[in-house]
Structure 1
Amino acid sequence: MNIPNEVEQTLRQHAAGGDTLNCYVYETSAMRRHITCFSRIMPAGVEVFYAMKANPHAAFLAAAKESGARGIEIASLGEAEKAVAAGFTSDQLIYTGPGKSHEELRWAVEKGIRTVHIESLTEAHRLNAIAAELGKTQDVLLRINADFDIHEAQTTFSGGSKKFGVDEEKLTTVLPQILALDALNFRGLHVYAASGVLHVADLLKNCELVFGMAKQIEADYAGVICDIIDFGGGFGVDYLESGHGFDPQAYANGLAELIKTYGFEGRTFFLELGRYLAADSGWFCTEILDIKESRGKKQVICAGGINHFRRPAALAINHPLAIVRMGCEKLFDGQESVSEESVYFGGPLCTGADKLANNVAIEAADVGDIAVFGLAGAYGLSMSNIEFLSHERPLEIVISLENGSGQ
């Protein structure tokens, strides 16, 4: 992994202050390019929403707004409030996720958000009662737990028993009950099969199956039109740097063909993209505090662990990794270092689960150097066990690659 010069300069500037360095560095130009690209290549009717669960930092919300994202996909009232504070209007929000509370649904209806995505009959009745009480009608999508999955995906959200949505085989029982709720306006379907998908054909197969589902519903229920279809996200990121990343142009071309084949021109299609937009706009950077050999393998202990960067341990993957050499003097003769070795990186936590990387080849590293984990702009700090052992939170530094300035 190559570290941008501006990122390295920022790290050296902050390290010069003398305090142990432990931080995220954010630079959002890549995210802006992704969103601009999608606006150009996607077929008519496709609207890109930033799934802010990937990174709720204000810099990422600003990047989404300024680069033309249609809106924000939220999954809590806290996310909604952050999105509004960033300048998004309530009708630019779509609300997904299971377990929406009464208070959250009431806020959604009162503010008039674009769509609420129903996850169960209970949620539908709860939302209907709130909307009726407020004298409003709320546009909704019905989330379906489709009877298929994508086996090679990083995480699956359909197939088998899932907390997400209504099982596809129960649709004929559930949908008529939702259509009968007067304060809800059924607009279409939300079917999100998997996350972290690198093969375009797999996600296009998901689109094709969803289109077939929509056609069947329209054939079975007179006057019902699925005029909005939400495919979720799922665009994978090449964390292994294999050179075989997700191809958005191929996806756009394939989706355009499917829209034409099914005669779905003029409809609206939501994409909720988080990881793909945000991942390469952030680096987790943490100082190496100790290096020791343990039964034939070097253990590299850093200032931050899963309390600050949980994702590698949670998903059992290695992120791209580079070492910024700081040239610190050794504390004593015989102090251990790394030289052309495959090593383990962990943090300062009292648990064996505190893994940042394992079996990763390192050319050289010393105590005082900075380990930089790439593709950390998505599911970094906000996904982590921040309160575990009460360590100080890492800094979040926003820079521009134009001048390397940080704040």
Structure 2
Amino acid sequence: MKEKVVNLIHELRERSSEPICAYIYDLDGIRQHVSNMLSVMPAQAGLFYAIKANPDARIIEALLPLVTGFEVASAGELLKVRGVSETVPVLFGGPGKKDYELELALSHNVSYIHVESLLELRKLILLARERKKDTHVLLRINLRTDTLPQTKIQMGGRPSPFGLDELFIGEAISLLEGADNTHVHFSGFHFHSLSNNLQPDVHADMVHYYLQKAAEWKSKYDLDIKVINAGGGIGVSYDDTPGFDWQRFTSLLVQTEFPSGLEDVQLYFEPGRVIVADHGYYAAEVVDIKPSQGQNFAVIRGGTHHNRLPASWGHNHPFYVVPVESWPYPFPRPEIRQGKVTVVGELCTPKDRLHTDAEVESLRVGDVLIFEKSGAYCWTISHHDFLGHPHPEFYYITGGEYQ
């Protein structure tokens, strides 16, 4: 893949004299990666892609024949998926669904709505009854436990705006079984307790805990549970920390004995980052190199308005250098040899920083930096129009060719 990316950079340099700034998505790589993931999953498991990681329509199209469906967290995301397919299964989550979003979920036939509060459930029961539209729900539960793994982002096991507190399950079931509810059908539970977990053994233990809790509630409330959605939260390493071992995780799932009464339940997963992160690249040309009080700064054509992830997560984003030999100016070319450099963007803020004190053998103005692992939460979460700089170009590798 590195060779393909380097070749594209040189092609782009030949086409234009403007500084290079682009995203490159390897659709072939994403498809192969997902095929590998599916090949080791348990028979009763389903894989949904959480499009919040990257809602690019070309990525959704590439995944459409492979995944069980897609997870969305807004009306906008729902419409993106429905713009690609009117029939693919969709899970609709998110803690602040408005009435129009619930109505849209009903009209676009989402498979399951993740209910996150009693108010949301009451609204959905009312809207579904008024529109005479049947729908199925999974109750998203915020567990009261201190046994969840600790990661950078915790969404459950503590006070949280996400999900329904475990104490209110009984009230939610009463609403679903009440006389006022004619069209909203309970199908199971949804859990999403953390983000960016890199420990497969701990993740498998967490899923097993979900199953145990669901079995407990099944018995307590006499429930017919068809689906347990174990969420996403599977991480990607952006440094030397070992990444998540998907094959190890799924092998542990295969060995998991489902609790009594849940033997036939469908077990859903809705990862995002782990599906696309390694198959996206952000390319940005160095437009200036300047020493300042003992440090070197490389300014790129781009920055955190295109790739906010390193600033958001507080990490140094991995990159490599593509040397570009052409230099059109009559004066010397700024260069760093065998030194450290901090990579910053073109914005008027010191927070526009992608890597601090990177060791480089050689870096010159006009060379292009390729930020790897830029397929997830990079372009999507960025403040694209701050200062009005042009957006990057987008390129896709599919069938071995660039588009």
Q: TM bucket by the smaller chain?
A: over 0.9
Aligned to 2:299: 301
- In the alignment, the residues of structure 1 paired with residue 177 and residue 354 of structure 2 have an alpha-carbon distance, to the nearest angstrom, of 48
CA RMSD of aligned residues (A): 1.9
Aligned to 1:238: 237
Aligned to 2:324: 326
Aligned to 1:113: 110
Do the aligned residues in 1 keep the contact of 2:149 with 2:203 (CA within 8 Å)? no
Shift of 1:259: 3.9
In structure 2, relative to structure 1, the CA distance for the partners of 1:137 and 1:8 (3 Å cut) is same
Do the aligned residues in 1 keep the contact of 2:211 with 2:259 (CA within 8 Å)? no
Q: Are 1:205 and 2:201 an aligned pair?
A: no
Alignment: residue pair count: 399
Q: Are 1:103 and 2:100 an aligned pair?
A: yes
In structure 2, relative to structure 1, the CA distance for the partners of 1:8 and 1:172 (3 Å cut) is same
- In the alignment, the residues of structure 2 paired with residue 8 and residue 29 of structure 1 have an alpha-carbon distance, to the nearest angstrom, of 17
- In the alignment, the residues of structure 2 paired with residue 158 and residue 363 of structure 1 have an alpha-carbon distance, to the nearest angstrom, of 44
Shift of 1:195: 1.5
- In the alignment, the residues of structure 2 paired with residue 254 and residue 189 of structure 1 have an alpha-carbon distance, to the nearest angstrom, of 21
Do the aligned residues in 2 keep the contact of 1:71 with 1:88 (CA within 8 Å)? no
- In the alignment, the residues of structure 2 paired with residue 331 and residue 159 of structure 1 have an alpha-carbon distance, to the nearest angstrom, of 59
Alignment of 1:1-400 (within 5 A): 4-16=2-14, 17-66=16-65, 68-89=66-87, 92-148=89-145, 150-180=148-178, 181-222=181-222, 224-242=223-241, 244-260=242-258, 262=260, 264-329=262-327, 331=329, 336-400=334-398
In structure 2, relative to structure 1, the CA distance for the partners of 1:257 and 1:199 (3 Å cut) is same
Do the aligned residues in 1 keep the contact of 2:306 with 2:392 (CA within 8 Å)? yes
* 1:245-289 Cα deviation digits (max 9, x unpaired): 211122112122224455632211111121111011110000101
- When normalised by structure 1's length, the TM-score is 0.93
- In the alignment, the residues of structure 2 paired with residue 173 and residue 294 of structure 1 have an alpha-carbon distance, to the nearest angstrom, of 62
- In the alignment, the residues of structure 1 paired with residue 358 and residue 261 of structure 2 have an alpha-carbon distance, to the nearest angstrom, of 49
- In the alignment, the residues of structure 2 paired with residue 263 and residue 344 of structure 1 have an alpha-carbon distance, to the nearest angstrom, of 56
Instruction: Provide the secondary structure at the position in 2 that maps to 1:381.
Output: coil
* 1:348-383 Cα deviation digits (max 9, x unpaired): 101111111112222211001101100101112111
Instruction: Provide the secondary structure at the position in 2 that maps to 1:350.
Output: coil
Instruction: Provide the secondary structure at the position in 2 that maps to 1:159.
Output: coil
- In the alignment, the residues of structure 1 paired with residue 371 and residue 193 of structure 2 have an alpha-carbon distance, to the nearest angstrom, of 28
Do the aligned residues in 2 keep the contact of 1:341 with 1:362 (CA within 8 Å)? yes
**Percentage identity across aligned positions?**
30
Q: Which amino acid counterpart does residue 344 of structure 1 have in structure 2?
A: T
- When normalised by structure 2's length, the TM-score is 0.94
Q: Which amino acid counterpart does residue 268 of structure 2 have in structure 1?
A: F
Shift of 1:171: 2.9
Flag structure 1 segments of 5+ consecutive residues without an equivalent: none
In structure 2, relative to structure 1, the CA distance for the partners of 1:302 and 1:59 (3 Å cut) is same
Q: Which amino acid counterpart does residue 64 of structure 1 have in structure 2?
A: L
Shift of 1:310: 0.3
- In the alignment, the residues of structure 2 paired with residue 191 and residue 179 of structure 1 have an alpha-carbon distance, to the nearest angstrom, of 22
Runs of 4+ with deviation above 6 angstroms: none
Do the aligned residues in 1 keep the contact of 2:28 with 2:397 (CA within 8 Å)? no
- In the alignment, the residues of structure 2 paired with residue 356 and residue 328 of structure 1 have an alpha-carbon distance, to the nearest angstrom, of 25
- In the alignment, the residues of structure 1 paired with residue 359 and residue 166 of structure 2 have an alpha-carbon distance, to the nearest angstrom, of 45
Do the aligned residues in 2 keep the contact of 1:139 with 1:187 (CA within 8 Å)? yes
Flag structure 2 segments of 5+ consecutive residues without an equivalent: none
Do the aligned residues in 1 keep the contact of 2:211 with 2:258 (CA within 8 Å)? no
